[in-house]
Structure 1
């Protein structure tokens, strides 16, 4: 099939030796070093189309033979049932209203731990709830990401979509970063993703919530090393998707409070109106606000009593006295791969 050969030629252009047919073209364009191409998705939202599977298998066989190390991604959803064809990963897209995205935080809780892992390659709140990038959208997406974080043993990667938009050529709403020829700003969804920047390689802790409005909450707890100060921290993230403040107690199972320092920080993403958006005129209307925390652990240890603002994403980073590698994790803990 000519299309299969074109795919192989494209991969050779990216990865091939500079003396190969297509690698030499790349080298002549000024990039002799091969690109690090590790993944190939076969199609895009094509699973439902006629002949997808038979064509997929032709691409799969040819690419596997030529590049056995490349991970191949199917367009068919494997979160509810096993795929009927070979794949290293499967693609998962979600574009829905805020309530639906919030409710999908547990999507992968019941997914089989056997078989291909998920690549959530496109997720975003869309429609009226999103506007051009609202706080409401960011909070629902944060809850969904917390669900992915908790299931990071079977969710290998995730990416927001789309990332950039030129405000003079807007074809999709929302986008994470808006720009023109001289300026740029991040939407609330952009700032929300900063809360997950240390999730990759972190250790996920088993935690439980005790609150007066648990149906509007999603939370997780991780151990991670801050790449800036090299300090080891416990991070607790909580989304309050409701319109009222929440009194919350978080219990970290099997964790020794003596490992925690008394110092840390609290970061909150919130605003006076859940539909607030950023703009060129007011690029920081909805941004994360950081404040120091000095007495959280002294008062409560690992049973933390907190008050959450309405419609907010709150993150508590507590400094640890011990190296993460010296901590014996609970049986239900695992390393996040997101």
Structure 2
């Protein structure tokens, strides 16, 4: 890999994210999902003294080196999952930050690179790994049993025909390419050319989420942001489908005291429980018509933002339990 300049990528809700972050000169921010660096560049342009940009995709880190070199040492690239931002910041001598940005899901660059296997628009190896490490989508589909595959497709893809698709996948193994998988799914559910949405979309989304543990990563990232944000620090999270958005919405409602915690690991925010760790929870912001015309992939994006209070985080990583 020798490319140093990031490919074209349109950061979603950029102006709205930057407004929610209220970046002030001299501040330190975390961009938990660097990608092509759109949010990071905007934060730097508004005078942030330092941005620590996380990405588990080694290609994104490689692309970011040019921006880091031109930043005057204000940008630090961190090749790590954003759920580990507390540990990574501590290792770099950073105790707290003024803002955390998370742009959840797969990036345009990953979708557009056929060999990454995220899209069925081009027949390519069935990979889907953001980090380029661990079990690939092909590995999973070729070793898992029918029930596990069906459960993943139903849970993460909201696919009502998940059992039928899983059965067809098992019968059609081995599966090695995106084209093979898309064909199997279309045959299983009955695909009519010209349909508004390709029936393979839900299955591909579900498998990608499973392979990259995206929802667990999101939950871990929100808890880590709660740990590292200084009092008054801002959190901005952009999601792209309802599973992600529900997690962020629930987290902010719980942590702002607007909703009792449903987690068996966390006490409710009552008079005898922990104080709210977030306030000024903004109304959700969605993409306008102008941006949608420029970037159709942004159609389902939702921004949620809030401000950190001075209350202790609900979860203690040091003790490994809720306070």
Higher strand share: 1
Calculate the TM-score normalised by the size of structure 2: 0.25
Q: TM-score, normalised by structure 1?
A: 0.25
Which is higher, the Rg of structure 1 or of structure 2?
1
Does 1 or 2 have the higher relative contact order (CA < 8 Å, sep 6+)? 2
Return the structure number with greater helix share: 2
